[in-house]
Amino acid sequence: MASHVGLPSSATPQNISSLIRAIRSTPIIDHHAHPLLTHSALHSRPLLAITSEASDNALHSSTTSLSHLRAVRQLASVLGCGLTWESVVAALEQRRLEALEDWTAQCLQGIETILLDDGLDSPEESQDVQWHDAYVREGRRCKRIVRIETVAGGIIKTLGGISSEGGRPPDVLNDLFEEWVREFDRVIKEGIDSEDVVGFKSVIAYRSGLDIKRQVDEDAARRAFAEIMGDYALVNFQKLEEKSLCEWVVHRTAGLIRDYQGRSADEDEYGEEEVPVAVRKKKKPIQFHTGLGDNDLIMAKASPSHLQEFLREYPTVPVVLLHAGYPFTKETGYLASVYENVYADIGEVFPCVSQDGQERILREILEICPWSKILWSTDGHWFPETYLLAIMQMREAFEKVLCDYVRKGHIGWRGAIELVQDVLFKNANKLYSLGLEFTELDEDTDIPLGTYLTDMELLQSFLKDQPTPDFVRICWNDFTASHRMRMVPFRKFISLLSEGESTDIGIAKAVFGMIQNDLLIPAASPSGEYRLHPDFSSLLAGPIPGHISMHGEFREQSGARVPLCPRSLLHRAVEAGIESNLTFLLGFEIEFLLLERNTQPNSSYRYSTLATDGHAWSVSRYFADPRISSLLRDMVSSLADSNIFVEQLHAESAKGQFELILPPYPPVQAVDVLLHARNIMSALATAAGYKLTLHPKPFANACGTAAHMHMSISSANGSNPETYTPFYAGVLKHLRAITAFTYSNPSSYERAQDGAWAGGRWVAWGTQNRETALRKIEGSHWEFKTMDGLANPYFAVAAILFAGVKGYNAGEEMVWGDCEIDPAKLTANDRKELGVSKMLPGSLEEALAALKGDEELTEMLGTELVERYVAIKEYELGVLNEMGGDERKEWLMERY
């Protein structure tokens, strides 16, 4: 097979496809889950609990969580219903009425066997362990995990007897304690010997915390027991909660497991001292709840790091840290990596954490923890849908993270498949001594799949309802915001994919060292080559018939990101937000000007303004011109053909000026869509005989042309002032430097005027104030006004996000007050009160100086990138400054 230049040798499409098939076909040993409710009890628990540990009124707020919204989308896709919670609930009710057993089987499809903790409250409402056998792989039996606090508490209630008057004397209490110990030992030992019990579980994190003393305090336990048993009626006893008793129960269980001397059938063939390690009966593990749970949890003591002294005391007792310890995931991975007897579970975060969070958790576990120590579980409970969502979302996360690792060369594809099989099946099979044979699921098994697709699958899905194109465009936006591309005939492109060849394109490293007319800056060299890697998830139709387009990112020959790549920079900014639990939605306004192409042979100007008939902001008369109305209609319909659905369209103030408003998207997609939309609109204008330009100030005495950006924080709590205020304070703090990217051309500063609804010239914000650089609209929804169409939007948005995330993390104080009028009209005293003390740069030279002087923003963006950007802009300035005003305006109009 031909080599794949620019990618690790294992990252061929075929190998990636093999990895994805393994993720989708590996059977699951669900090593930690809970019984489903009986049919009659299905309505006794809130269905909202499928994605949240909250309860009561707090649970209702979960409808605005990312995990809930994702669950709605996924359940709706499976159920074939509307994309609302109400529609999902109605569809589930219908499934329950029509075929609950079939629906349950569909939800649990792909599970080999389940290890069930049946110690939840209200056991009478739950199905028994063996009932679940009907929903796992044929011939498999589900097994029990014994919850030790439930055992201990149940014995106390039994010993409490029937209520009567008077207390128990000390000698009786002492005898009862001994009886309690004997009975507890009996149950645990039976569990150790039982073929139906494969492990034990402690919820001490809920009861008294994981800070368990290394040595048990039996005297304290006896006193606590006596206090509970002092009343025959046990009036106040509900569950085991007293710290000394909880710790005694955990230590007692660990000690019994450690000292267990039972023999397996295989061991009986050997003498007492001759049993090989390979056939010794393995000790059954203790699972510990760690990390997230309901509000009964002692969160400060739920970190698994509290268990270190306990782990040192019982080095031969297997311990499983449940639920990735979230949010203490790194601690979980560390403990599993340095203690031989410790294993890390990564269940429950599917589906209780957002998609980005799940991928981050998987990466954090794999940062340090050997995958031979990692297990996966659903933590399914009550409702079959909890199993379904957990499996779907796990497969998505595994596909995304592991395929990325293979593409980057962090792991070979065969190693990644081994990882999947170990984590989902083999590690649990070995740890719990299940003795199951590993067999992949049948190809036609209807299992819940992830959404990660190979490049070929993405392309085939995209072309499903479209005619076969002639060309594939792979596009990028350079340092001067020039939109560039390479075109590949479709036949050639599809043959590369089919034959497993790389679709990367070699591009000279000079690509990030040239200006608009291809002149190279002195620091750039024509030698060296990057790989332009197409992102198939950005596929869009157009911008002209017979073409399809996608955006690319530049990579080194090794597959590593190129620090100078604008799109990769924005990805880094988004990832920085995710690390801080911040996600965003952006929506752009496209302001554009239509010009007539001048056909007069003696004219010195290439373009002239449209003939106007009272053109003004939002007037309707201009749309009476059939040529203009047809062009604008075609723009909207062509964008819709590319699944870009325009929200509004209206006339702007300057002659022949219009504004088209795009819907909101996540940041990278928002910029991709913006650039593609501009290409479609420009192509249609050219075909209609017009010139479309984004020039910021086409007419000295008319309104300029901008590229306003709306943004909101879409993650949980994004609309809380505690979240968005420091974020926007960070943006304002670095706004002068950010301007070097958002006002990236000398002509940008011709538009930057006071009193022109252009965002003004001051570092300020105001509620619904269009003369401030940041206009607050509602909650975290703000508008960034000081940006135009000559900016590279990847750079501009990345700078804004980096500054905002930095402000959020630092708890940046909003020292600027809410400006209610044009900042230019404020008195000196007003400015002092509002903190409006700095002006935006008045020229590109001043903006570049501000960028070079902003060490924090430079560090976030990367010194190499900032130095290259400044060098290119300074070189471009030299070229533009040699032109006259009219020449420069037309030169820019030709290109933007």
3-class SS string, 90-150: HHHHHHHHHHHHHHHHHHCCCEEEEEEECCCCCHHHECCHHHHHHHCCCCCCCEEEEEHHH
Structure confidence by residue, pLDDT tens digits, 250-267? 999 999 999 886 545 455
Rounded mean pLDDT of 716-725? 88
426 DSSP 8-state letter: I
* pLDDT at 6 > cutoff 50: no
Q: H-helix or E-strand containing 193?
A: helix 170-193
* pLDDT at 567 > cutoff 90: yes
* pLDDT at 451 > cutoff 50: no
Contact 642, 676 (CB under 8 A): yes
Which range among 125-134, 189-198, 507-516, 611-620 shows the weakest confidence by mean pLDDT? 611-620
Structure-block tokens of residue 360? 């981050």
* Owner of token pair 């920085």: 576
Give the confidence band of 628 by pLDDT, cuts at 50, 70, 90.
confident
For the chain, how far is it from start to end, CA to CA, in angstroms? 43
Which long-range contacts does 863-870 make (Cβ < 8 Å, 24+ apart)? Answer: 864/563, 864/564, 865/563, 865/564, 865/569, 868/479, 868/512, 868/513, 868/523, 868/564, 869/479, 869/740, 869/741, 869/795, 870/740
The superfamily CATH assigns to domain 571-895 is Glutamine synthetase/guanido kinase, catalytic domain (3.30.590.10)
Greatest Cα pair distance in the chain: 118
Partners of 692 in the β-ladder = 594
The closest alpha carbon to 553, from 543, 545, 564, 544, belongs to 564
Q: What's residue 63's pLDDT?
A: 82
* pLDDT at 455 > cutoff 90: no
Share of the chain above pLDDT 70, in %: 90
Partners of 475 in the β-ladder = 485, 551
Structure confidence by residue, pLDDT tens digits, 297-313? 888 899 999 999 999 99
Contact 225, 173 (CB under 8 A): yes
Rounded mean pLDDT of 794-807? 95
Q: What's residue 4's pLDDT?
A: 31
* pLDDT at 277 > cutoff 70: no
Q: Return the half-sphere exposure (C-beta side, CA atoms, 13 A cut-off) of residue 253.
A: 30
Rounded mean pLDDT of 651-676? 88
* pLDDT at 475 > cutoff 90: yes
Share of the chain above pLDDT 90, in %: 43
Structure confidence by residue, pLDDT tens digits, 40-92? 888 888 888 888 888 877 887 888 888 888 888 888 888 887 777 888 888 88
Which range among 11-25, 218-232, 268-282, 526-540 shows the weakest confidence by mean pLDDT? 268-282
Partners of 273 in the β-ladder = none
* pLDDT at 695 > cutoff 90: no
Q: What's residue 11's pLDDT?
A: 58
Which range among 77-91, 119-133, 435-449 shows the weakest confidence by mean pLDDT? 435-449
Q: What's residue 162's pLDDT?
A: 42
Q: For the domain bounded by 455-562, which CATH number is listed?
A: 3.10.20.70
Which long-range contacts does 123-127 make (Cβ < 8 Å, 24+ apart)? Answer: 125/37, 125/38, 125/41, 125/44, 126/34, 126/35, 126/36, 126/37, 126/38, 126/41, 127/35, 127/36, 127/37, 127/38
Average pLDDT, the chain: 85
Domain regions of the chain by residue span? 15-148+197-215+280-431, 455-562, 571-895
| Strand ranges, E, within 220-298 | 286-288
Partners of 522 in the β-ladder = none
Phi, psi angles (nearest 5°) of residue 670: -60, -45
The closest alpha carbon to 214, from 164, 175, 251, 264, belongs to 251
Highest mean pLDDT among 256-260, 417-421, 574-578, 581-585: 417-421
- Classify 15-148+197-215+280-431 by CATH class: alpha beta
Structure-block tokens of residue 451? 């959404």
Q: What's residue 860's pLDDT?
A: 93
Asked if the bond preceding 522 is cis, omega within 30° of 0, the reply is: no
| Alpha carbon distance 349, 327 (integer Å) | 10
Partners of 29 in the β-ladder = 113
323 conformational bin, left if phi > 0, alpha if psi -120 to 50, beta if neither:
left
Which range among 345-354, 745-754, 805-814 shows the weakest confidence by mean pLDDT? 745-754
Contact 303, 328 (CB under 8 A): yes
Give the confidence band of 234 by pLDDT, cuts at 50, 70, 90.
low
Structure-block tokens of residue 266? 């295989």
